[in-house]
Amino acid sequence: MTIFIWTIQFIFAPVISPLCIGIIKKIKAKLQNRQGASIFQPYKDLWKLLHKDEIISHDASWIFRSAPFIIFAVTIVVGASIPIFTSFFKSTLTGDMLIIVYALAISTFFLALAGMDTGSAFGGFGSSREMTLSALAEGGLIFSLLTVALVSGTSNLFAISSSTMFGQGQHVLSVLLAFSGFLIVLLAETARFPYDNPDTHLELTMIHEAMILEYSGKRLALMEWASANKLFIFFALGANLFFPFGLAQNAYAGEIVMGITIFMAKIFIFCMVIAFIESSMAKFRFFRLPDLLLISFIFNIVALGLIY
């Protein structure tokens, strides 16, 4: 039974992540009085890209060619190493908070290298902007996770998700402040509004799209799929670390089904929040973004200060 649950855990992120993108786009369309595409359209787009031919620049090195596979593999490993619908796995090797943070940083590092590798002007400024935001967001991400780690007394994500921190009334404010900081970082790390516009190729607005502009075919599909996986990973971290309820505590079929159901409900709420944010505000100018990430850092510092 445990092997079966690990298998579900391993494939859950790549299978469900395109659905999150589809749901967000569908909700945005409804909020904007449009019909919108089906929530399963991202699956069709990935299938189409996986069957297209590729065009690779003669100036591209092994970094450009291998980066999509490295980035996609990292998101798969991270997706299998975080609590999704269970909390009874105690993976000490890959389930540690800092392991997850720096594994995601590795994927960002190769994404920026791939953007610069072909010498494209778009890729160069996209990589520059991405590394600027990542450097500023990393502190906020670590400190937001550090808050729940200190409250629960462990840095293992599965142990954090199985704790009852909301039963401890004195820590509720700290956790909510840390979640507010985490939400700001989530928008930055996943290239959503107000940091980036995921639906445009305009020079003044794109960051993530600029770095993958030279990709096509199967490698572009892996890049888009990895981006969806990363969004799903941040949704899962936000849902299960800051609101740790509804996760299966034992390897019983009933608890597993209930855990998956509650988790999908949490993910749907996150999709609604992202869609509402993207439908109600415009993208910020790039030089205003560090101020927003500074607010996230301040939230997390205050949250840490309130613990003791």
- At 186, the pLDDT band (50, 70, 90 cuts) reads very high
Decide: helix, strand or coil at residue 237: helix
pLDDT of residue 168: 56
Q: What is the mean pLDDT of residues 199-217?
A: 78
Whether 284 has a pLDDT exceeding 90, the answer reads: no
Whether 25 has a pLDDT exceeding 70, the answer reads: yes
108-116: which pairs have CB atoms within 8 A and are 24 or more residues apart?
Answer: 108/134, 110/63, 110/67, 110/70, 110/71, 111/67, 111/71, 111/208, 111/211, 111/212, 111/223, 112/211, 113/63, 113/67, 114/63, 114/64, 114/67, 114/68, 114/211, 114/212, 114/215, 115/210, 115/211, 115/212
Higher pLDDT, 199 or 40: 40
Higher pLDDT, 259 or 200: 259
pLDDT of residue 69: 96
pLDDT of residue 68: 95
Whether 62 has a pLDDT exceeding 70, the answer reads: yes
Most confident of 54-58, 221-225, 286-290: 221-225
Q: What is the mean pLDDT of residues 121-131?
A: 86
pLDDT of residue 120: 82
pLDDT of residue 91: 61
CB 221 within 8 A of CB 233: no
Mean pLDDT of the chain: 88
Nearest to 289 by CA among 136, 141, 111: 136
pLDDT tens-place string over residues 142-153? 999 999 999 888
pLDDT of residue 221: 95
Q: Would you state the structure tokens that stand for residue 49, as one six-digit string?
A: 């890209």
pLDDT tens-place string over residues 221-237? 999 999 999 999 999 99
- At 203, the pLDDT band (50, 70, 90 cuts) reads low
Whether 20 has a pLDDT exceeding 90, the answer reads: yes
* pTM for the structure as a whole: 0.94
β-strand partners of 86: 248
The neighbour count for residue 122, using CB atoms within 10 Å, is 18
